[in-house]
Amino acid sequence: MVPSHIQQLISNLHFYLVSAFSVFCLCPVSAQSDTAPNIILIMADDLGYAGIGCYGNQTISTPHLDKLAASGLLFTDFHSNGAVCTPTRAALLTGRYQQRAGLEGVIYAKGPTRSTGLDPSEITIAQLLKSSGYATGIFGKWHLGYEKKFNPTYYGFDEFYGYVSGNIDFHTHYDGAGIYDWWHNKDTIRERGYVTDLITKYSVEFIQDHRDRPFFLYIPHEAPHVPFQGRDDPGYRYPNIQFSYHGPVKDTVRAYREMIEVMDEGIGQIVATLKDLNLEENTIIIFISDNGAESFGHNGHLNGAKGSLLEGGHRVPAIVSWKGKISPGISDATTMSFDWLPTILSLSGTSIPADRQLDGINLRDHLINRSPVMERDLFWRYRKQSAVRRNSYKLLINDGDTLLFNLKNDPSERHNLSGVQPAITTALM
């Protein structure tokens, strides 16, 4: 029996799938048809499992993401490596568990962690693709080190416009410590503009500037992370004043909706740029989130939220589209953030260093041929929580409490089976 939430996803996508499949069969010649594919990796910030239309949200309009999902593969069992920002970003860019880089928790704007960052000995996907001739750009949130020595241009990115902290005022660009945080490469620059629009602007320009060579474009959005600010809401963070973390906006539901919808609008501009430049057929677009939504967001039927190792903290949207190469559909394969590095390297023909142990796996055959994804144990750890996933079973240790769930029958994690299935519990300990 197909779970009800999967039936809803299929229903939501039905109209788009029919039209997308007809387009799939009539693909134009790409301007880069004989070159390695372009890669666009988009990551929302704190976007929950049910935060966009193609995952069942009926209050937030995301037509461009919905069309992207309908033209490609939508994952129902994709997970972020972390339940918060920094760990997932470390795992995504290295293809390895974040613990290998020493980044299990958040790097905060205030306090001792501000001086930490991604271990320089780690090798990022940008460095590997750059060695294969790719132009590399990041526009948006870095959050892998505040100090200049951790700047993304030292980790394989040719160009960087964005911010290095966990979040900034969408208008004034000050971080949570009241420090100005908008950069071009290794220097801060004064620039006006709504952060989401600036990210889109520089992403579009990067595509236009590199239309004649393969490029890797990493777009880690701020939306819909706090502070709650739409395009027309006022800025409020400035140096040497006290300000609230979430911002002064009272109508947070409206602001939250606008933040996601403006991000979706920008993704539409990026897709339109690819179409205008005849690059659609040679560009892979991946869309994910870094962790689940906070409690006020949309995690759908899932229990838990950002910071929790219940499913709501780390089961997130994931969409991959490659016109003419990946046929439309829905995947229930259990996958994770760090799988994208080996997958992208395989799709681009880039070699993995022989001495580099990866934890993620190559999903290429699953994307192209729908081959089964290999079974493996997956692990999470954050503060006093740890979890392991084996097939449909998940064991969660939460501050000493032992919880066992069968996610196939109980994706909302409402029924603790540790007492009635002690053998499975022990095997996963």
Q: Vertex 250, ends 246 and 256: CA angle to 5°? A: 65
Under 8 Å between Cβ of 357 and 101: no
Identify the CATH homologous superfamily for domain 4-376.
Alkaline Phosphatase, subunit A (3.40.720.10)
- The CATH architecture to which 384-429 belongs is 2-Layer Sandwich (3.30)
Axis-axis angle for helices 4-24, 63-71 (nearest 10):
80
CA distances from 22 to 18, 275, 315 (A): 7, 17, 31
Residues noted as catalytic: 85, 143
Residue 11: its pLDDT value, please? 54
Cα dihedral 79, 296, 63, 364 in deg (nearest 10): 0
Q: How many CB atoms lie within 10 A of CB 211?
A: 17
Q: Is the peptide bond before 328 cis (omega within 30 degrees of 0)?
A: no
pLDDT per position as a tens digit, 47-79:
999 999 999 999 999 999 999 999 999 999 999
- pLDDT per position as a tens digit, 342-371: 999 999 999 998 999 999 999 999 999 999
Tell me the two tokens of residue 279: 């690059």
The two tokens of residue 8 are 């809803």
Q: What is the pLDDT along the chain (429 residues), one digit of tens a residue?
A: 444 554 555 455 544 443 443 333 334 344 454 689 999 999 999 999 999 999 999 999 999 999 999 999 999 999 999 999 999 999 999 999 999 999 999 999 999 999 999 999 999 999 999 999 999 999 999 999 999 999 999 999 999 999 999 999 999 999 999 999 999 999 999 999 999 999 999 999 999 999 999 999 999 999 999 999 999 999 999 999 999 999 999 999 999 999 999 999 999 999 999 999 999 999 999 999 999 999 999 999 999 999 999 999 999 999 999 999 999 999 999 999 999 999 999 999 999 989 999 999 999 999 999 999 999 999 999 999 999 999 999 999 999 899 999 999 999 999 999 999 999 999 999
User: What's residue 35's pLDDT?
Assistant: 83
* Side chain identity, residue 182: W
Phi, psi of 98 (to 5 degrees): -60, -25
Tens-digit pLDDT profile for residues 364-394: 999 999 999 999 999 999 999 999 999 999 9
* Cα separation, 402 vs 384, whole angstroms: 12
Domain layout of the chain by residue ranges: 4-376, 384-429
> Rounded CA gap, 199 and 140, in Å?
6
